[in-house]
Structure 1
Amino acid sequence: MTETTETLKDEIKLIVFQLKEKEYAIPVSQVNAIEKIEHITRVPGVKNYIKGVINLRGVVTPVIDLRLRFDIEQEEYSNSTRVIIVALEDMEVGLIVDAANDVIDVKVDSIEPQPEIVGVAEAEYISGVAKIEKRLLILLDLEKVLTTDEVRVNLGNEG
């Protein structure tokens, strides 16, 4: 194995985004696009964190507000609000975040396992924490944030 290949396996590329004052990250490999927020069509009878659906280049995509999913106080959307389109199994889901900050390479050995956090709403969705210089990035496990079954059931697309 070449040294370059080893270096690539030692790093992971992450998309960093913000909710309130905290920085979160997800692997670039799970992200299909980052879009400005556009018209969301409400879907009646769904959980409050499912804002509805958007028509993204002809594909109807469910959109989830991560602030509401994590029980963080909701705020008005701004010019920096973004929808991160992620791939979960065989469907796309949009995640509304306060801002999408940057893409960074993180050394795998700088990622610590999920800390034992009590009383934090998003604790069950954390896969680890990365310390980069003075930043603390919370790595999310998208499969735990929202299962595709939950999205399908809530949008009435079962089966």
Structure 2
Amino acid sequence: MSEAVEQVTKHIVFKLDTEYYGIPVESVGSIERVQKITRVPNTKPYMKGVMNLRGIITPIIDLRKKFGLESIDFDDQTRILIVQLQDMTVGFIVDEANDVIDLGSSTIEPPPEAFNSTHVDYIKGVTKENNRLIVLLDLEKVLHEEEELASNQS
């Protein structure tokens, strides 16, 4: 019998409030500074609006609001992660994004049952790196509502 080969994946680590989150590098098209965001009426409170990113109109989601955290003013550290999943591109506003880490599959644990920091549905797993706990997000579930909105509008 051969042993399972350790899979290593790169993740972008970003911060919301005091917590760290990770998403796969291959899902991130770019990391942008906050630019002009145009508000769209009659959208959910966490939908910040849309942004013209190099000629492409991109919906922008405030992850703080989506995860039920208190809103804060943007500062020099605030970033927008441009995330691509299947045929959808969305921007996530985060407090900071400045780390790329390699994660071995053996270091990722399932989320604890009593997890209460975000909606547990959005969590793929957790890992520890340099004395920080990093919550790995399931982008498909985070974006699920937006996919439904997009399909209802077409």
**Root mean square deviation of aligned Cα:** 1.6
| Structure 1 equivalent of residue 150 of structure 2 | 152
Q: CA deviation at 1:81?
A: 0.3
Q: Residues 80-130 of structure 1, C-alpha deviation per residue, up to 9 Å, x if partnerless? A: 000000002202100000000211111110000122135444322110001
Note if 1:117 corresponds to 2:111.
Answer: no
| Structure 1 equivalent of residue 36 of structure 2 | 39
Gaps (5+ residues) in structure 1?
Answer: 1-5
Q: Residues 19-44 of structure 1, C-alpha deviation per residue, up to 9 Å, x if partnerless? A: 00100000001100000000000000
> Normalization by structure 2: what TM-score?
0.90
* Corresponding letter in the other structure for 2:15: Q
Q: Output the CA distance in 2 between the equivalents of 1:58 and 1:127.
A: 33
> Normalization by structure 1: what TM-score?
0.88
Instruction: Flag as ranges the 4+ runs of structure 1 deviating above 3 A.
Output: 118-121
Note if 1:104 corresponds to 2:101.
Answer: yes
Identity, in percent, stands at: 50
Q: Which of these residues, 36, 57, 61, is aligned with residue 60 of structure 1?
A: 57
| Cα distance change, pair 113–144 in 1 and its aligned pair in 2 (3 A) | same
Aligned positions of 1:1-150 closer than 5 A: 10-117=7-114, 119-147=116-144, 148-150=146-148
Q: Output the CA distance in 2 between the equivalents of 1:151 and 1:71.
A: 20
Q: Output the CA distance in 1 between the equivalents of 2:117 and 2:21.
A: 14
Q: How many corresponding residue pairs?
A: 149
| Structure 2 equivalent of residue 3 of structure 1 | none
